[in-house]
Structure 1
Amino acid sequence: MTATLGALHERLAGVVLVGRELPEVLTEIVQISRGVMPGADATSITLIRDDRAFTAAYDGQIAMDADELQYERGYGPCLDAGRAGELFVVHDMATEQRWPDYAVHAAERGVGSSLSVPLPFQGATIGALNNYAFRSHAFGDADVALGEEVAAFVAIAVGNAEAAARASDDVLNMRRAMASRGVIEQAKGILMERYKITAEQAFTLLTHASQRHNVKLRDVAEELTTTGVLAGA
């Protein structure tokens, strides 16, 4: 078990998080997870956004099929793990009673057992790591320990991607703000020269035009710098 955990940590440490799209990162992680977890024949990651669940990555078609069965019904071990933050093991899908309708259809597709591990993120749960096996009773304590390690790393990857997205949005918003400020300053200069007024008076003219026509201040300024026309003047 210690050797397997060590191998898992070594492989996860080699996953590059920066400069890659999240689906690509998560696909690599599920491939690693499936490779080191003794009981798993297929692995997937379910993410939940605004109460909508979707499979962000998978390795093995049966994982996607089993995930979709749960999404169609609105319940199942992976959804309940993702929503409640609890770990669920289905030892024998053929006799499972907690999600009977799902279990029947999953067993028909060849799922014998499953392990669903919640993804913890900043005190909440954002989804689940789902592991499926063709045989029953495939998942034991060693699989649970490995699954929890992988789930923690998935949460780090998702958090890193969200932080990068926020940073990108911040940069974009800053650039937009700088562009808006630039065109407004240019428009003020035009009005100051045209009417021999102060910067404050020029800004007042722009804001009044914006309010009268219910148009953004930047758009009023851009029209003036482009056409020389001040709206309403």
Structure 2
Amino acid sequence: MEQLLRDLSRVVLAGRALGEVLEEITAIATAGIPGSESTSITLVRGDKAWTAAYQGEMALAADELQYAEGYGPCLDAGRGGVVLRIDDMRTEQRWPDYVARVVDLGVRSSLSVPLPYQGGVIGALNNYSSQPGAFASPESLAAGTDVAEAIAVAVANAEAHHELGEQARNMRIAMDSRAVIEQAKGVLMAQQHVDAEQAFEILRAASQRANRKLREVATGVVASTQPQ
């Protein structure tokens, strides 16, 4: 358990793609969660669910089977925010179609832990084993919970970077728009002998008539002064 926490604490988030970080975390989870032979991370957005990272083909195949069925422990944990443990697929009754088919993939037990995020859940950490009862110990759940929290931190970090990037992009667009509008006002002031306020009103009226963005109209005005 201590080794698992040390490994999670060493995961670098800054400057890395989310997928790369999640792949590293799934490898740590497979090695550090008692009973786990194969691990995956299911992310859920509305009605859509997908495997964002996995370690071992068993996990990916089991996930894909649940997506095809439209239900299963990874989906229910990822949407409902509950821990779901299956000790033996051969006797499990909650998802009959799924468990009947996943046994053929070699899966006998699983543990799905929800990913906490801003008061809700965004998916699940899924652990699979070819042995029945592989996740029956309290240590398995404790380790799974620690990994799930690390995943949530990684996703939150990625979301924050994305939002900052969007804000910076929007700011650049706004600054570019302001610059071209000011240029267009200067052109109109020189051509039509009007002041800055009147020039802006001319641009605004043209924008409304043409049902085009003010920036597009301003760009056209500036472009009209360029030599052909």
TM-score by length of 1: 0.95
Indicate the residue corresponding to 1:64 in structure 2. 60
Give the distance between the partners of 2:79 and 2:155, measured in 1 at CA: 16
Identify unmatched segments of 5+ residues in structure 2: none
User: In structure 2, what is the equivalent of residue 36 of structure 1?
Assistant: 32
Distance 1:203 1:15 in 2: 53
Which ranges of structure 1 fall in alignment gaps of 5 or more residues? Answer: none
Matched, 1:113 2:109: yes
- What residue number does 1:131 align with? 127
| One-letter amino acid of the counterpart of residue 192, structure 1 | M
For 1:15, the aligned partner's letter is V
Aligned residue number for residue 11 of structure 2: 15
1:225 to 214, 222, 227: 222
Given the alignment, which residue of 155, 167, 170 partners 2:167? 170
**1:202 equivalenced with 2:199 (yes/no):** yes
Q: Which residue identity is paired with 2:219?
A: E
Tell me the matched-pair count: 225
Aligned residues: CA RMSD:
0.9
Match in the other structure for 2:141: 144
Taking the aligned partners of 1:225 and 1:128, their CA distance within structure 2 comes to 53
Q: Percent identity?
A: 54
Separation in 1, partners of 2:82, 2:109 = 17
SS at match of 1:135: coil
> What is the DSSP-based 3-state SS (H/G/I as helix, E as strand, rest coil) of the residue aligned with 1:120?
strand
Q: Distance in 2 between matches of 1:143 and 1:80?
A: 19
Distance 1:71 1:20 in 2: 28
Q: Please list every run of at least 4 consecutive aligned residues from structure 1 whose deviation after the TM superposition is greater than 3 angstroms.
A: none
In the alignment, the residues of structure 1 paired with residue 200 and residue 6 of structure 2 have an alpha-carbon distance, to the nearest angstrom, of: 60
**Alignment pair present for 1:87 and 2:58:** no
SS at structure 1 position matched to 2:187:
helix
Query: By how many angstroms is 1:13 displaced?
Result: 1.0
Q: Deviations over 1:181-211 (max 9, x none)?
A: 0000000011111122110000000000111
1:50: Cα distance to partner?
Answer: 2.0
Structure 1 CA distance for aligned equivalents of residues 209 and 81 of structure 2: 53
CA drift at 1:38: 2.1
Amino acid at match of 2:47: D
Match of 1:45 in 2: 41
Aligned residue identity for 1:96: E
Deviation readout 1:16-53 (Å, 9 max, x if unpaired): 11111111000000000101112000000000012200
TM-score of the aligned structures, taking structure 2 as reference length: 0.97
Q: For 2:213 and 2:118, locate their aligned partners in 1 and report how far apart those are by CA, in whole Å.
A: 38
**3-state SS of paired residue (1:219):** helix
